Amino acid sequence: MTNENVILKINEFLTEEFEVDPGKIDPAANLKETLDLDSLDYIDLVVVVESNFGFKVKPEDFTGIITFQDFYDYVTRRVNAKELA
């Protein structure tokens, strides 16, 4: 899966699942603030990532994810790692 496809897929499910205005999705924007995530909402994000990309999200994975770009990079890295495995 190309990086562009990963980003398109992420944006698609974020728009659908979190009802976020697509215009607000910007690579530099803060993921938590834009999606209005609170401490229990992250479970929703974990579930949609796992079901859309088929890899398991680890507990420590979200600690370094601040912006949408961080999120795209993380998912792309995990998808590539899975394809190589």
Provide the binding-site residues for other proteins, judged by CB under 8 A.
Answer: 17, 19, 36, 38-44, 46-47, 58-60, 62-63
Report CA torsion sign: 32, 35, 36, 42. Answer: negative
* Residue bearing tokens 């479970």: 43
At its nearest, how many Å lie between other proteins and the CB of residue 4?
27
Q: Please, which residues bridge with residue 30 across strands?
A: 67
Whose Cβ is closer to other proteins: residue 26's or residue 36's?
A: 36
Which CB sits closer to other proteins, 1 or 74?
Answer: 74
Question: Phi first, then psi: what are they for 30, rounded to 5°?
Answer: -75, 125
**Least spacing, CB of residue 43 vs other proteins, in Å:** 5
**Rounded distance, CA 58 to CA 75, Å?**
12
**Residue with Cβ nearer other proteins (22 or 58):** 58
CB of 6 to other proteins, least distance (A): 22
